[in-house]
Amino acid sequence: MCYGVYISTDGSEELSRCNSELVQFEKVTDSNTDPCIDLLDYQNKWYIGSKSGCSCTFRHLMSIASHSAEVEPKPNSNKLLKKIICYLEELGFSDPVDWYKEEQDEVDATLELYSTLTNLLSSGCHVDLID
């Protein structure tokens, strides 16, 4: 079984323009093919694949603990973005371990994905994500 990363956003940007060798955005609209998209809140829904086609080669956090309850910020506020960045820095990812080799392009793909998500949030768009 593979990981699947899906996002939705109220932003109208064509995310497939951000496609690269490491990250692929595919617009999804059919809940028969992608049933989890019914759980997403915003109208523009995307599947995010990595170089493997699935979402397995991205780094994945195993939990976000108690950071799920957030208050909606005022429009054009960077408050939520700052909180998200703070939480990500706080959570971080574990250091590489000998028993699980991680390729540099897997790290690069995750950074590329985070950059796209950060750009959406910085521009005032709402984003939700299912991993």
- Could you read off the pLDDT of 58-75 as tens digits, one per residue? 766 554 443 444 444 445
Q: H or E stretch including 46? A: strand 44-50
| pLDDT score recorded for residue 2 | 80
pLDDT value for 60: 60
d(CA 129, CA 55): 13
Beta bridge partners of 89: none
Residue 74 makes CB contacts below 8 A (sequence gap 6+) with none
CA distance 80 to 99: 36
8-46: per-residue pLDDT in tens? 999 999 999 999 999 999 999 999 999 999 999 999 999
For the cut 60, the answer to whether the pLDDT of residue 81 exceeds it is no
109 or 78, greater pLDDT: 109
Token pair 């064509």 is at which residue?
A: 14
| Single-letter amino acid code for the residue at 103 | E
Determine phi and psi for 107, rounding to 5 degrees: -65, -45
Question: CB–CB of 38/31 below 8 Å?
Answer: yes
Alpha carbons 57 and 3: distance in angstroms, whole number: 9
Mean of per-residue pLDDT scores for the chain: 79
pLDDT category, 49, cuts 50, 70, 90? very high
